Chains A and B, each alone.
Chain A
Amino acid sequence: MSELADLLTYYNVIFLLKGMATTFALSALGCILGGLFGTALAVARLTTGPLTLPLRALALVFTEFFRRVPFLVTLMLCFFIFQFSGLDVSTFTVGCVTVVLIGTAFLAEIVRAGLQSVHPNQWHAAETMNFTLLQTIRYVVLPQAWTVILPPAFGFFILFIKDSALASQIGVIELTYVGKVFNNRGFSAGVSFGVILVAYFMLSYPLSRLGAKLEKKLGSSRTR
């Protein structure tokens, strides 16, 4: 216990909080940008006709690839690509690019499932009135689908908070990295990582409760 007291000095707590903030920022960025790009991919996959076939194929390959490659491997790929490209970017940037790529792929699937949950009748009605695909999605489908999209998207955000722990491997100073620093400074692994586990819990648990509430609320409300 005294070791824990030794660890929780003012500066260490600040360091810990910064790590938490970075972890949060990393997954928030991955989900916000990933959500935007993912929506674009989801829409691309709904296009029809031969002209947009390359677009569809590209969207398919992108989503399948980044959903089937481990976080760590994507991270290393991004890391080495930046290294060999000679661009001098921070490891934080590399981490950001990684989470955005992965977030895009997963959220594209979540959005696509949401769009497809809207009854075909709604799509058909819009189609017969000459709505374009984008108009249909913007005015008719997304306003009905967002209640279906939001809960799993939020769930993914919470999952990402924990997955982004791997960014510590390339030196992004997020929560897990903070734990490794504590450990290297001579604090025991039990205390160092114990504190980190608690910090993750404090970040993730309230959010997951919020997510459960959100799901309940959206589930019971109607489509508007």
Chain B
Amino acid sequence: MDYTFQYGQVWPYVPYLLKGAWLSLQIAFLAFCGGMLIGTACAAVKTFGSGWMRHGVNAYVVFFVNTPQLVQIYFLYFALPDMGIFLSSYMAVLLGMTLNAGAYLTEIQRAGFESRRQSEMEAAEVLGFSRWQQIRYVILPHVAKVLFPPLSNHYILMTLGTSMAAIFGVEELTGRAFNINSETFRSLEVFSIVAVIYVVVTLAASVLLALFGRFAFRAKMRVV
């Protein structure tokens, strides 16, 4: 392989790429927050809800968890217009990622709710805690500690997942890589730089999340 790397041509584009990375982070953040709202509501329904509501939530979760996000977004972006619903590519991606996240976060949170330890609850009861005090001092801290690591993990996966927005023409990090590639044709240079940006960004996010998790919830978290 006699390929000579010429990063010189691509360097000037780095600030442009970083702006794309910022957009990636925004998409991931918005989709995660939306997903958390859906996920918390659905997990609550699954834990406490009535029969038919649980079935509804189950159908939603099972469907989204067992199909690819990419095809879900294809459907939203290309099929909804036939029904008179027009979404911009950005909105289609955001909506798809949010719905997808909602399903996964439902599963993660339900597992967290279920991990409340019976013995702890009993201990709290014996100590004479009120219902609210039990939630405040026993259940919440425990659930937060158990949930934080898998939620952080999912957030990182979602940050990586935003790259499929490029396929719909959203100019986030990967999208901008495709743009530069078609201008300069320095494909390997562009995509290797982009890869490194993803590594650095997600590594930074992992470190911050692990520090926060340890500090706030005494969650056991490792970065590497």
Chain A contact surface mostly: helix
User: Of A60-68, A89-97, A134-142, which stretch is located at the interface?
Assistant: A60-68
Q: Which residues of A contact B156 (CB under 8 A)?
A: 68
Q: Which residues of B contact A183 (CB under 8 A)?
A: 78
A48 to chain B, nearest CB (A): 17
Q: Which of A64, A81, A193, A204 is within 8 Å of B74, CB to CB?
A: A193
User: Of B47-55, B123-131, B189-197, B210-218, which stretch is located at the interface?
Assistant: B189-197
Report the bound CA distance from A72 to B170 in whole Å: 14
0/1 string, A57-91, CB within 8 A of B gives 1: 00010001100111111101100110111100000
Q: Which of A83, A176, A194, A205 is within 8 Å of B70, CB to CB?
A: A176
Smallest Cβ-Cβ distance to A191: which chain B residue:
B79
Q: Which of A70, A84, A200 is within 8 Å of B161, CB to CB?
A: A70
Q: Is the CB of A189 within 8 A of B70?
A: no
Smallest Cβ-Cβ distance to B62: which chain A residue:
A205
Interface bracket on A = 35 or more
* Count of chain B residues with a beta carbon within 8 Å of a chain A beta carbon: 40
Q: Which of B65, B71, B164, B191 is within 8 Å of A76, CB to CB?
A: B191
Q: Which of A72, A85, A176 is within 8 Å of B163, CB to CB?
A: A72
Report the bound CA distance from A208 to B107 in whole Å: 13
Q: What 4 new A-B contacts, CB under 8 Å, besides A176-B70, A194-B79, A205-B66?
A: A188-B79, A189-B81, A197-B75, A204-B66
Q: Which residues of A contact B65 (CB under 8 A)?
A: 204, 208
Report the bound CA distance from A65 to B195 in whole Å: 8
Q: Which residues of B contact A83 (CB under 8 A)?
A: 187
Q: Is the CB of B75 within 8 A of A194?
A: yes
**Which A165-192 residues sit within 8 Å CB-CB of chain B?**
165-166, 168-169, 176, 179, 183, 188-190
Report the bound CA distance from A73 to B24 in whole Å: 14
Q: Is the CB of A201 within 8 A of B1?
A: no
Q: Is the CB of B75 within 8 A of A73?
A: no
B87 to chain A, nearest CB (A): 13
User: Of B33-41, B132-140, B198-206, which stretch is located at the interface?
Assistant: B198-206
Report the bound CA distance from A87 to B203 in whole Å: 34
Q: Is the CB of A85 within 8 A of B82?
A: no
Report the bound CA distance from A76 to B164 in whole Å: 12
Given contacts A70-B161, A70-B174, A204-B67, contact A189 B195 (CB under 8 A): no
Q: Which of B71, B82, B163 is within 8 Å of A73, CB to CB?
A: B163
Q: Is the CB of A193 within 8 A of B199?
A: no
Report the bound CA distance from A64 to B192 in whole Å: 15
Q: Is the CB of B68 within 8 A of A165?
A: yes
Given contacts A197-B72, A205-B66, contact A68 B78 (CB under 8 A): no
Smallest Cβ-Cβ distance to A82: which chain B residue:
B1
